[in-house]
Each structure stands twice: as C-alpha cells, then as structure tokens.
Amino acid sequence: MNLFHEVRGQGPALVLLHGWAMHAGIFAPLVSRLERDFTLHLVDLPGHGRSRDAGLPLTLDHAAQAVADVVPERALWLGWSLGGLVALQAAATMPERLRGLVMVAASPRFVRYDDWPQGMEASVFRTFASELQRDYRATLDRFLMLEAQGSEKMRDELRLLRAEAFAHGEPPTAALCDGLNLLEDSDLRGVLPTLAMPSLWIAGRRDRLVSPAAMQAAAALAPRASFHQISSGGHAPFLTQVDEVTDTVRAFAETTA
C-alpha cells in the first residue's frame, strides 16, 4: 500500500516530510503561504497519520523509497526533524529524484558521539521509548513540550503541536519506537560530501532537540550548502516563525530553478 499523499497548490514540486509522531497536517501554516508558489506534496510517513495502516516499515531505506514512489521526480524535498533523515537518505541514494534539499531542525546524526559533541544524549531517546509502553499520551506530551521549549512563542507552538498530534488517531506504539530508534541510531554524516544537489539547513537558535551548531557543522560538510538560523525559533520554526521560514525557502528555491 502506498503512503498517504495529498497535493496542494501550483508551481514547482515541493515535498514536505514531517517529524516523529506527527503527520503532514503539521505543516498547515507553511502550506497556506507556499501553495501560491509551489505544488506541495504532503506525505505521511509509515506508521504515522493517514499512513498508519500502509503496512510499510519505518526504516530510512523503505521510507525514502515509499515517498519517492508517490511524488514527482526533480522535486525539492523539505524534511523536518525525523523527516529530514528520510529526505537526506533520498538525496544520498536517489540524487536524480531531488532538485534540492531543505533540512529544517534536522541533523544527519541526532545523538552525541565523540566526534559529534553537538548531538543529544542517547538516553533521551531510550527513555521516551521505554516510557511509551507505560504511559503513551503523557510520554508523547513530554516530547511535544521538549519540541516547543526554547521558542519565543513556546505556548503557541505547544498548542499547535498538541492540536495536530492526534488529529488522525494515535500512531501505533511500535511505529513510534521505530522512529525513536532511527533518531538514536542513524548516522548520515558520511553522505554529506557526496550530495549532488544544493541544500539549505534551517535551524532554530533556541532548539532544544537539534543544536544549531550540529546543523551548521553538517552544512559545512556538504557542497553547495547554505545555513540559515532563525534567532527566535525552536524546534518547529515553521509554526511560529513561518514568514521567515517561507521567505528562506522561496529564496533557496529560486537558486535551484
């Protein structure tokens, strides 16, 4: 079964890939501004949103291929958080399919390592995975609070995240655990020097999940990469700093035309 895929707007193709425990509906503020300039392809990742019953495993290889199967070639791909890992995997393994890559609050390696001090402690992801089994909704809400922390508009951001979290039912616990495993185990730093397309790395200066320093370091490893930091942004800057994100994406798209 294919992933859920919704098409909005007109213009060049732009694929939007959401983060952990979410679905494409989280991009509503961005969609309202970009659909005048792009044909937006909104995809729910395996096990999430309206792709809960797609029967596809949530691995980087399977997710990247499943998205590529439903979106047009030569599109811009924008991935937020976990969606950024999927988009980066596609850029590395199917470069002919992407015209450009936009990473929003996403890192090639989310977890701290000896040669990657900008990452988070692995224990954070392990704790969420173990607590999901015991108290699903409370654990998910704690993760949403972590996503919103730091933003100058934290309350607004948290309200929007909470409103969307269960809009299409509860994601299966197994899928959420698979997603946390991807965030903990994936390391795509090695593909960055080989990227064939231009890339844009958008970070929130106040992000508590993905350090802007990690994104800047990643951009420095990729050819034809640019880095943009949103001074008042947290982990989901497209919710409460949407105009700045929109302007930055539009400007980048013009350079890839």
Residue 11's SS3 state is: coil
- The per-residue pLDDT for 151 is 87
pLDDT tier at 129, thresholds 50, 70, 90: confident
- The per-residue pLDDT for 115 is 93
CATH number of residue 248's parent domain:
3.40.50.1820
pLDDT digits (tens, 9 = 90+) for 41-87: 999 999 999 999 888 999 999 999 999 999 999 999 999 999 999 99
Active site residues: 81, 207, 235
pLDDT tier at 168, thresholds 50, 70, 90: confident
How far apart (Å, rounded) are the C-alpha atoms in residues 139 and 160?
A: 17
How far apart (Å, rounded) are the C-alpha atoms in residues 111 and 16?
A: 24
The parent domain of residue 195 ranges over 5-256
pLDDT for 136 beyond 90: no
pLDDT tier at 110, thresholds 50, 70, 90: very high
**Residue whose tokens read 């797609």:** 54
Total number of domains in the chain: 1
Per the model's pLDDT, the better-predicted residue between 170 and 38 turns out to be 38
